[in-house]
């Protein structure tokens, strides 16, 4: 698990200082399953710009994390998702709501992945990615009640 609460740059600085960048790269290269949550999802992308600070990410997914183009930020609360075709994470959870709290997100996911999206005030963003052994969610499954617990169980069963 790559958890995350806070800012993109601070998360990357912490991972770098703790040797996490290398550890995650080795982990994924060995084909082990990895799950990112919130900022832990965001840092899997090539980079992000948050509060005017441009920071390189882990580069496991192409693309960048940017501020959502929405009147009301942060996007905080329960939201539905548009489940990507063939999703294992969301099996049986297609109509559930999940808990989000963020102002930044990736707007596009990898073309070679199952990408689930969500929309806040007209801004559509990547809510989850499933790509080989790496999966991640912009929302917090651990705060999403029974639906979040079921999503984590789906991920565990998939490996």
Which residues are catalytically annotated? Answer: 38, 140, 142
CA 72 → CA 64, 112, 114, 147, distances in Å? 21, 32, 28, 25
- Contact indicator for 118, 82 with CB cutoff of 8 Å: yes
Distance of CA 5 to the CA centre of its chain: 12
Tell me which residue of 138, 113, 112, 119 sits closest to 127, measured CA to CA.
138
Angle between helices 20-29 and 8-17 (to 10 degrees): 80
116 by Cβ neighbours in 10 Å (0-12 / 13-18 / 19+) ranks as buried
Please count the CA atoms within 13 angstroms of the CA of 83 that sit on its side-chain side.
15
């Amino acid at each position: 698990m790559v958890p995350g609460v806070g800012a993109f740059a601070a998360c990357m600085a912490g991972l770098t200082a703790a040797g996490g960048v290398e550890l995650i790269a080795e982990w994924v290269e060995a084909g082990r399953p990895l799950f990112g949550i919130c900022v832990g999802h965001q840092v899997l992308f090539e980079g992000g710009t948050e509060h005017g600070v441009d920071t390189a990410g882990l580069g496991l997914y192409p693309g960048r994390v940017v501020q959502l183009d929405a009147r009301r930020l942060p996007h905080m609360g329960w939201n539905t998702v548009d489940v990507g075709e063939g999703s294992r994470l969301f099996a049986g959870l297609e109509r559930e709501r999940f808990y989000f709290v963020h102002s930044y997100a990736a707007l596009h996911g990898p073309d070679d992945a199952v990408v689930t999206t969500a929309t806040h005030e007209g801004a559509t963003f990547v809510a989850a990615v499933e790509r080989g052994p790496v999966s991640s969610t912009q929302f917090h499954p651990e705060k999403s009640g029974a639906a979040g617990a079921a999503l984590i169980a789906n991920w565990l069963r998939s490996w």
